[in-house]
């Protein structure tokens, strides 16, 4: 599904280089997560199935952090730092660092876990 206007407003409030990273992530999240809907959750964009978060991102002053819930359960979670709850994250400072194909496959696996 697609993200809502709140995500657009969030991206509009970011510096251009971070907005570019966020825009690419938004596009990949919108196209890869067919059952999830993007909205603001706890102040940053998150794609959710009902009340279950699947993936999202958060802008910081110098980078954007991609977040994938239940990442520890994904077979191809290389490159993601995992916290104790299994949330995976990676810092992105440019859109060139985003592998659309790898991220799309990872998101499809993450969405399947949310069933």
- The partner residues of 90 in beta bridges, in order of sequence, read 66
Class for the domain spanning 5-113: alpha beta
State the DSSP H helix or E strand holding residue 91, giving kind and residue range, or none if neither. Answer: strand 88-92
Handedness of CA 26, 52, 63, 86 (dihedral sign): negative
Instruction: Give me the residue spans of the domains in the chain.
Output: 5-113
> Is the CB of residue 66 less than 8 Å from the CB of residue 28?
no
Distance CA 103, CA 99 (A): 6
Mean pLDDT of 68-87: 85
Using pLDDT thresholds of 50, 70 and 90, give the confidence band for residue 1.
low
pLDDT digits 0-9 by tens, 30-49: 999 999 999 999 999 999 99
pLDDT at 19: 97
DSSP letter (8 states) at residue 14: S
* pTM of the predicted structure, to 2 decimals: 0.93
């Amino acid at each position: 599904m697609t993200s809502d206007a709140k995500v657009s407003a969030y991206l509009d409030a970011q510096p251009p280089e971070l907005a570019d990273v966020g825009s690419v992530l938004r596009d990949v999240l919108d196209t890869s997560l067919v059952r999830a809907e993007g909205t603001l959750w706890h102040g940053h964009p998150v794609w959710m199935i009902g009340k279950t978060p699947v993936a999202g991102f958060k802008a910081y002053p110098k980078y954007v952090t991609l977040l994938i819930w239940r990442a520890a359960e994904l077979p191809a979670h290389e490159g993601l730092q995992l916290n104790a709850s299994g949330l995976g994250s990676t810092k992105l400072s440019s859109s060139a660092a985003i592998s659309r194909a790898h991220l799309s496959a990872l998101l499809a696996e993450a969405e399947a876990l949310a069933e």
